[in-house]
Amino acid sequence: MKRTVRSNECEVSNREEGLIFARFFPNTEITVEIALEFHNMVAYIAEGKYHGTVVDISGVSYMEKEAREELVNASTARGRTIAAAIIANTFTSKIIGNFFLSVNKPNFPVRLFDDALIAQQWVRSEYSKAIAQTSVQ
Q: According to the 3-state scheme, what is the secondary structure of the chain? A: CCCEEECCCEEEEEEECCEEEEEECCCEEECHHHHHHHHHHHHHHHCCCCEEEEEECCCEEEECHHHHHHHHHHHHHHCCEEEEEEECCCHHHHHHHHHHHHHCCCCCCEEEECCHHHHHHHHHHHHHHHHHHCCCC
Range 13-42 average pLDDT: 95
- pLDDT tens by residue, 35-89: 999 999 999 999 989 999 999 999 999 999 999 888 888 766 666 899 999 999 9
Fold of the domain built from segment(s) 4-130: Transcription Regulator spoIIAA (3.30.750)
For position 128, what pLDDT does the model report?
A: 93
pTM value > 0.75: yes
For residue 26, pLDDT over 70 is answered with yes
Q: Where are the domains of the chain?
A: 4-130
- pLDDT tens by residue, 88-136: 999 999 999 998 888 877 888 999 999 999 999 999 999 999 888 876 5
